[in-house]
Amino acid sequence: MKILIVDDFSTMRRIIKNLLRDLGFTNTQEADDGLTALPMLKSGDFDFLVTDWNMPGMTGIDLLKAVRADDKLSATPVLMVTAEAKRDQIIEAAQAGVNGYVVKPFTAQALKEKIDKIFIRVDG
Amino acid sequence: MEMTSPLHDSEAFVGELRDCAKLLSDKLNGDDIEGASKLIEQLLEVRDRNIFNQVGQLTRGLHSALCNFSIDDGLTKEPPEMPSSENQNASENINYVIELTQKAADKTMDMVEASAPIALSLGQEAATLREEWARMKRREMTADEFRDVYQRVDDFFGQMNSGTAELNKNLQNIILEQGFQDLTGQVLKRVISLVKGVEENLVSLVRIAGQVEEITGLVDTADTEGKQNSVSTTAADIEAEGPQINADKRDDVVSGQDEVDDLLSSLGF
C-alpha cells in the first residue's frame, strides 16, 4: 500500500506519517501542495491519497477534483484531513468525491476509523 | 479590501481643475474679478471634496481589511456595520494561537509525566530481576527464592506488556499534539495577510496625501506601483479558511469530527 501525504505544514505531514506507520502503513511519500502532488500521483501508482485543504499553489479540493477528473487516477481513495470546518466545505468535498473527511485537530482513533472505513468500502 | 481606484478619481479631479483654470484665466483676462474669486472658491471646494472622498475610500478599505480578518464573509460581501472593536477578530486569532500552544505544551508535558514513572519502574524491576537472575546462574539461590523470582519474572512480563503499550500510546499522543504547529501556523499566516492589507492601505493613504501636492505641482509624480495588487484575491466558489476560531458559536461550521460524520451520513456517505 503506497500512500501520498499532502500538506503544506511539514509538522502535520510527519504526524500523519507517524500515525500511518502505527497503523502498519510504512510506504508513504510526501508533497507540500497540489501542484507537486499531482505529477507524483500521475507517475507513482499510489494506492491512497491523504490531503489537506488549505495549501498555497493548488488546494486540496482542487487536487481532489483533478484526481477525479483524471482517467488513470479517478478511482484512488482520497482522505481529506483539514482544519476547514464549514458545512459548505464538507458538502463541497463530498460532492467532489472525497472518501473520508477528518477535521483537525483529530485523534489517532478518528484517523484510523476513517481509513478502515475507506478500505472496507474499497475492498468490498 | 475593495477600493475604487484613487487614480481614476484624481484624473477626474485634474480634469475639473484644468477646466476651472481655463475659465479662471478667461475671467481674469476679461477683468471679471468677482467671477474669478468665485471660481477660486469653487476650485478649493473641488479639491477638498476630492481629498475627503479619497480619505473616505481609504477608511473603508482599512475597515474591510480588518473585517476580512474575521474571514466570515470572504471578500465579496460588504463589511458588517462598524462595531466598536473591529480589532477583536485579530486579537481572537492571536488568543487562539496562545490557547492552542498552551494546550499542546500542557498535554505534551502531561504525557511525559505519565510516561516517566512507567519507564522508571520497568527499568528498576528489570535491574532487580537481572541481579536475581545472576545469583541464580551462580547457583546462589534457594528453591524458595527461586519460586519467588519465577513469579516476579512472570509479573514483569505482564508489566512490560502493559507498560510498553501505555508508553507507545503516550508517544503517539505527543506526536499528535504537535498538530498545533499547523493550526497556529494557518492562523498566523492570516494575521500576516491582515497586516499586509493594512500596510497597503496605509501606503495608499500616503499616496493620496501626496497626490494633492502632486496636483499643485509641489512634488514629482508619486509612485503608483503596487497600487493594483492590493485587491488581487477574487472569491471563487469556496475558499479555504483555515481553523475556525469560534466554531461553537457558529451555525455554518462544524465543531468536531462527530458533526462531520453526521453531516456526511445525512448526505448518504
Give B125-170 pLDDT, tens digit per residue: 999 999 999 999 999 989 999 999 999 999 999 999 999 999 999 9
Q: Which tens digit of pLDDT belongs to each residue from B5-49?
A: 555 666 777 787 788 888 888 888 888 888 888 888 888 887 788
Q: Which tens digit of pLDDT belongs to each residue from B64-107?
A: 666 665 544 344 334 444 443 445 677 788 888 999 999 999 99
User: Which are the contacts of A56, defined by CB distance < 8 A and separation ≥ 6?
Assistant: A8, A33
Q: What is the predicted pLDDT for the residue at B91?
A: 78
The grid coordinates listed for B98 are 496562545
Q: What is the predicted pLDDT for the residue at B87?
A: 54
Q: C-alpha dihedral over B41, B42, B48, B52, to 10 degrees?
A: 150
Looking at the predicted structure, is the pLDDT value of residue B252 above 90? no
- Residue A110, chain B, CB below 8 Å: the answer is yes
Nearest to A104 by CA among B185, B56, B238, B192: B185
- Is 0.80 surpassed by the pTM of this model? no
Q: Do A84 and B242 touch (CB under 8 A)?
A: yes
Name residues of chain A where pLDDT drops below 70. 121-124
What residues of chain A lie within 8 A of the CB of B237, using their CB?
Answer: 92
Q: What is the predicted pLDDT for the residue at B235?
A: 42
Cβ atoms of B243 and B186 within 8 Å: the answer is yes
Q: What is the predicted pLDDT for the residue at A6?
A: 97
Q: What is the predicted pLDDT for the residue at B88?
A: 60
A6: enclosing H helix or E strand:
strand A3-6
Nearest to B248 by CA among B96, B83, B91: B96
Separation in Å, CA of B21 to nearest CA in chain A: 52
Distances (CA, A) of B194 to A16, A100, A109, B241: 30, 32, 36, 13
Q: What is the predicted pLDDT for the residue at B66?
A: 64
Separation in Å, CA of A102 to nearest CA in chain B: 6
